[in-house]
Amino acid sequence: MRSTLLLLPLIPAAVATRPFLNEPDTGIEDVLGSTPAGSLPDLERIVGLPDFEWAARRYMNASSYTYYRNGAAGEWSYRNNLEVYGRFRFRPRMLVDVTNIESTLPTSILGHNFSAPFYISPCARGGLAHENAERNFVKAAYEEDILYIPSLYASLSVDDIAAAKPSNGSQVLFQQVYLTDNDTETQQLFDHVKELGSKAIVFTVDSAADGNRHRASRYGVGSADSSFTYITWDYYKKLQSMTSLPVILKGIQSVEDVKLAVQHKVPAVILSNHGGRQLDSTPSPLEVALEIHQEAPELFDQIEIYADGGIRYGADVLKLLALGVRAVGLGRPFMFANTYGVEGVKRAIQLLKHEIAIDAGNLGVADLKKIDASYVKWTNNGWFS
């Protein structure tokens, strides 16, 4: 009985964290709650990435917001993507000179240099949030010098997105694709995106079947890819022969598949569960990265590994980088920021850059390239499990 009573004070604290599914309570409702529905608060009053979702939920119509927000089935994977980062505690180091940390943010992704270790992930239908749609991502990514990976199911065509790039030809974009069993169409698509200047193809492999999206179905905004798709390693080998562009695999969720990717000479993989939108009970990218670190850490040296899913804070980015992930992608936060247009997307990028730098400084990391797993206690304390 005594041991049970000792645990009782901990129960309310754990339960109290459970209600939110979107963003935590950081006072935004108290300060900005009077913002009329259908309008946006002043952009300078947005202080973190979760604020953009709060603002977008009040501004967008229900079906458009749901298209961005929905997850698979009971949305446990969606929720886990958000909460998993809080399960692991930092191990900060003191008395370290961190005054030059900002200069260490620049990152190389497949040989292309960018100003920060994160990118805009492929997400469909940017036009639901703003009339300029994906043009805002292209411009913001260029001005802030980060990578943007357009979705094949963007509101704009691949031609329109390419046309939004600066005329000097300096901007690097990768192109995400879904593929059919029509090899002629695939070859034409590969040739066309290369002609438009894409520097890599990102092939999404975690949606071989339709997503089981209950929330989306209620609003009639289900998956854009609704057929069973033939995706095998032999098929990937054929894709490699159809283009000189590197073909990245997006949606890898196990250490076994990363090992196979190395065997099949894949240049890079993205650890992702499709934002928790395809199959419920899939692992978060952080859990997959931890599995790789624990079972086959050498893989981080054998192949470039990126990750996306649930990242909302600079601290989240640091935990992935600490395991060996080279760069991280964010989708929903930028989609919601796009309600403000290009300036909103730019502010989201700037906020995350700043958070990464100050969080790394408080963690005692002098050089972001030298962060490693020793900066985090990787024992799961059981919270939010």
DSSP conformation class of 266: -
Binding site residue list for FMN: 122-124, 151, 176, 204, 250, 272, 308-312, 331-332
pLDDT in tens, the chain (385 residues): 444 444 444 444 444 445 666 788 899 999 999 999 999 999 999 999 999 999 999 999 999 999 999 989 899 999 999 999 999 999 999 999 999 999 999 999 999 999 999 999 999 999 999 999 999 999 999 999 999 999 999 999 999 999 999 999 999 999 999 998 899 999 999 999 999 999 999 999 998 877 788 888 888 887 655 577 889 999 999 999 999 999 999 999 999 999 999 999 999 999 999 999 999 999 999 999 999 999 999 999 999 999 999 999 999 999 999 999 999 999 999 999 999 999 999 999 999 999 999 999 999 999 999 999 999 999 865 443 3
Binding site residue list for glyoxylate: 67, 178, 213, 274, 277
pLDDT tens digits for range 267-313: 999 999 999 999 999 999 999 999 999 999 999 999 999 999 999 99
Binding site residue list: 67, 122-124, 151, 176, 178, 204, 213, 250, 272, 274, 277, 308-312, 331-332
Structure-block tokens of residue 203? 């092939």
Q: How much of the chain, in percent, has pLDDT values that exceed 90?
A: 83
Amino acid at 47: V
Please give the radius of gyration of the chain, using alpha carbons only, rounded to the nearest integer. Answer: 21
Between CA 77 and CA 281 the distance in angstroms is 5
Structure-block tokens of residue 254? 């196990």
Output the pLDDT for position 381: 53
Between CA 51 and CA 336 the distance in angstroms is 9
Which pTM value belongs to this model?
Answer: 0.93
Output the pLDDT for position 207: 85
Between CA 94 and CA 366 the distance in angstroms is 11
User: What length is written for the chain?
Assistant: 385
> 10 Å Cβ neighbour count for 122?
25
E runs forming strands in the chain: 89-90, 107-109, 112-114, 118-120, 147-148, 175-177, 201-204, 247-252, 268-271, 304-308, 327-330, 376-377
Output the pLDDT for position 233: 97
Between CA 142 and CA 146 the distance in angstroms is 7
User: In the chain, what are the domain boundaries?
Assistant: 85-376
> 10 Å Cβ neighbour count for 247?
18
Amino acid at 237: K
DSSP conformation class of 283: P
Between CA 66 and CA 321 the distance in angstroms is 30
Between CA 186 and CA 146 the distance in angstroms is 28
Select 85-376's CATH number: 3.40.50.300, 3.20.20.70, 3.20.20.80, 3.40.50.10490. 3.20.20.70
Residues labelled as active-site residues: 274
